[in-house]
């Protein structure tokens, strides 16, 4: 007979015995270091609301299927709601002995309502339970991230609407290429965010499949109704295969991949803002709302927000790789390795939420574009060289011939320190007789932008069309659920 101080009694809150989560096959408690190593309660307590929701639905289903009486089901639900109320009041703080959130809830339920609480786990396992909790949690987080992306889109759109007529140098290979409407540049990020939202919607459909009732791996002989619990919890379908139900973490990987693309897009914009805010570019000024200073150099105003976003992208990419590595060699069905999915997934969500919010605020009140500086930049380069070639093409000169002529002209202008607009007309006509005085108007930066009228192009009229369409496509930002 084990005494309170004997090795076989210590730690039985986690191991065997009446209060344990394991069977009486185990006589001794875990080594304290292994108990700490094994426990997930320190982070999976975040799933408490979802665990309670799933348990309430499971208890109600057991009652309706006659596995337990209706009165027993109601009492179980009352007890679970008492746990929820305790947690809301800050009075539910399980320790390591609880091992995980599922056992913590069950132990507290038994303490509150007595032996009836031991019936709650009928017809299920922690394997299908944790899969259900995680999907419920992620489904809600995806909805929140969709709202955050929508806010980000609205912030970009608001800036774009102010800057249809503002010019900005367009780049390829980080070399000046052709002038653009600044609104057109910003709308490119609106389109990226639209794809991000589409991807999240696709992921959500695959997250929204219920594993509950698959039990440990093979289903259960208990006469349960899996579709009833799935419907009550808002799932669209149930897993068709019990092995797949408890071992599928594709949704975690797929979500992290979608989040990685969100961070890649945010990081691209962050890098541009960092460049634009430098003295060398000077395209934007940072407001005090989103910039910090230097502890040594009093003149500094640092773009910490975009720098942090650029850096945090690596965290999300790393978690994606960790999740892929976690699942790549696992035999069916459940393995303890899956405990590693939560901290990675939690951090991916938190980091993505934080970065989206920070970049939206940066766009809303953290940067101010400098149209006069942008105008100077566009006027002082050779990004209108293609339009000289287009001018000749419009006058029946073959494009490749025009291309070579203009390339040689740019070379000579660089050697002489001249811009194309500074060349006298006789120099143009010496290059090719098709040139007339209207060439100066044709290569003026605003005309260069205005002329790009092809669908999807940067022409001012086309950009205004796109702004109007985007304003129609974007729903208002919904209020967050309380």
Query: At 292, phi and psi to the nearest 5?
Result: -120, 170
CATH number of the domain bearing residue 246: 1.20.200.10
Exposure string of 88-99, with b = 16+ CB inside 10 Å and e = fewer, is eeeebebebbbb
Q: How far is CA 384 from CA 442, 458, 472, in A?
A: 9, 14, 33
Same domain? For 246 and 343 the reply is yes
Query: At 298, phi and psi to the nearest 5?
Result: -65, -20
Question: Would you state the structure tokens that stand for residue 101, as one six-digit string?
Answer: 């959130």
Residue 440 lies in a domain: no
For the chain, the domain total comes to 2
**Can you give the residue range of the structural domain that contains 44?**
39-119
Same domain? For 132 and 66 the reply is no
Residue 324 lies in a domain: yes
Same domain? For 223 and 267 the reply is yes
Q: pTM of this prediction?
A: 0.91
Same domain? For 298 and 345 the reply is yes
Same domain? For 319 and 346 the reply is yes
Catalytic, out of 294, 295, 319, 454: 294
Same domain? For 44 and 132 the reply is no
Q: Which of 360, 376, 392 represents a domain boundary (last residue)?
A: 376
Q: Which of 321, 343, 376 represents a domain boundary (last residue)?
A: 376
Is-contact 155 360, C-beta < 8 A? yes
Q: Which of 56, 92, 101 is nearest to 76 (CA)?
A: 56
Q: Which of 80, 76, 131 is nearest to 104 (CA)?
A: 80
294 belongs to the catalytic site: yes
Residue 482 lies in a domain: no
In this prediction, residue 20 carries a pLDDT of: 55
In this prediction, residue 10 carries a pLDDT of: 40
What is the mean pLDDT of each successive set of 10 residues along the chain, which is 482 residues long? 34 48 69 91 97 98 98 98 98 94 97 98 97 98 98 98 97 95 98 98 98 97 98 98 98 98 98 97 94 80 95 98 96 95 98 98 97 95 93 95 95 95 95 96 96 96 97 87 52
Residue 19 lies in a domain: no
Q: Which of 376, 403, 431 represents a domain boundary (last residue)?
A: 376
Same domain? For 314 and 342 the reply is yes
Residue 473 lies in a domain: no
Using DSSP's 3-state secondary structure scheme, residue 181 falls into strand
Catalytic, out of 5, 23, 173, 295: 173
Residue 219 lies in a domain: yes
In this prediction, residue 27 carries a pLDDT of: 73
Same domain? For 93 and 207 the reply is no
Q: Which of 428, 373, 381 is nearest to 402 (CA)?
A: 428
Same domain? For 228 and 114 the reply is no
Same domain? For 220 and 77 the reply is no
Cα(449)–Cα(444) distance, integer angstroms: 9
Beta-strand ranges (E) seen in 1-78 are none
Same domain? For 347 and 368 the reply is yes
Using DSSP's 3-state secondary structure scheme, residue 176 falls into strand
Residue 427 lies in a domain: no
Same domain? For 217 and 334 the reply is yes
184 belongs to the catalytic site: no
CATH number of the domain bearing residue 112: 1.10.275.10
């Amino acid at each position: 007979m084990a005494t309170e101080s004997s090795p076989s009694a210590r730690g039985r809150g986690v191991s065997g015995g009446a209060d344990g989560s394991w069977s009486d096959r185990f006589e001794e408690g875990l080594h304290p270091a292994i108990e700490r190593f094994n426990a997930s309660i320190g982070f999976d307590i975040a799933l408490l609301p979802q665990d309670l929701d799933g348990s309430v639905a499971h208890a109600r289903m057991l009652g309706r299927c006659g596995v337990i009486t209706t009165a027993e089901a109601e009492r179980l639900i009352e007890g679970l709601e008492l746990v929820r109320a305790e947690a809301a009041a800050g009075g539910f703080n399980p320790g390591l002995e609880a091992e995980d959130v599922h056992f913590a809830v069950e132990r507290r339920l038994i303490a509150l309502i007595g032996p009836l609480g031991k019936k709650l786990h009928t017809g299920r396992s922690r394997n299908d339970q944790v899969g259900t909790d995680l999907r419920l949690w992620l489904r809600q987080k995806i909805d929140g991230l969709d709202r955050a992306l929508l806010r980000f889109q609205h912030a970009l759109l608001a800036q774009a609407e102010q800057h249809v007529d503002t010019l900005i140098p367009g780049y390829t290979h980080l070399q000046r290429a052709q002038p653009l409407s600044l609104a057109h540049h910003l709308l490119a990020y609106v389109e990226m965010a639209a794809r991000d939202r589409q991807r999240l919607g696709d992921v959500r459909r695959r997250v929204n499949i219920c594993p509950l009732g698959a039990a440990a791996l093979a289903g259960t002989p208990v006469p349960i109704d899996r579709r009833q619990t799935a419907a009550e919890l808002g799932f669209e379908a149930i897993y068709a295969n019990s092995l797949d139900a408890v071992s599928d973490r594709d949704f975690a990987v797929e979500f992290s991949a979608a989040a990685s693309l969100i961070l890649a897009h945010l990081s691209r914009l962050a890098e541009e803002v960092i460049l634009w805010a430098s003295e060398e570019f000077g395209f934007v000024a940072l407001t005090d709302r989103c910039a910090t200073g230097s502890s040594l150099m009093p003149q500094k105003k640092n773009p910490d927000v975009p720098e942090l976003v650029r850096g945090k992208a690596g965290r999300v990419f790393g978690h994606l790789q960790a999740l892929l590595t976690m699942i790549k060699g696992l035999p069916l069905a459940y393995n303890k390795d899956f405990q590693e999915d939560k901290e990675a997934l939690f951090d991916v969500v938190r980091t993505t939420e934080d970065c989206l919010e920070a970049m939206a605020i940066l766009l809303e009140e953290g940067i101010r574009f400098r149209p006069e500086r942008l105008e100077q930049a566009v006027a002082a380069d050779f990004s209108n060289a293609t339009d000289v070639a287009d001018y000749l093409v419009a006058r029946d000169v073959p494009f490749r011939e025009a291309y070579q002529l203009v390339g040689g002209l740019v070379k000579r202008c660089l050697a002489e320190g001249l811009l194309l607009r500074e060349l006298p007309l006789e120099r143009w006509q010496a290059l090719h007789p098709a040139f007339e005085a209207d060439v100066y108007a044709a290569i003026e930066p605003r005309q260069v932008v205005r002329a790009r009228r092809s669908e999807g192009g940067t022409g001012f009229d086309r950009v205004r069309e796109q702004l109007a369409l985007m304003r129609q496509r974007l729903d208002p930002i919904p209020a967050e659920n309380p």
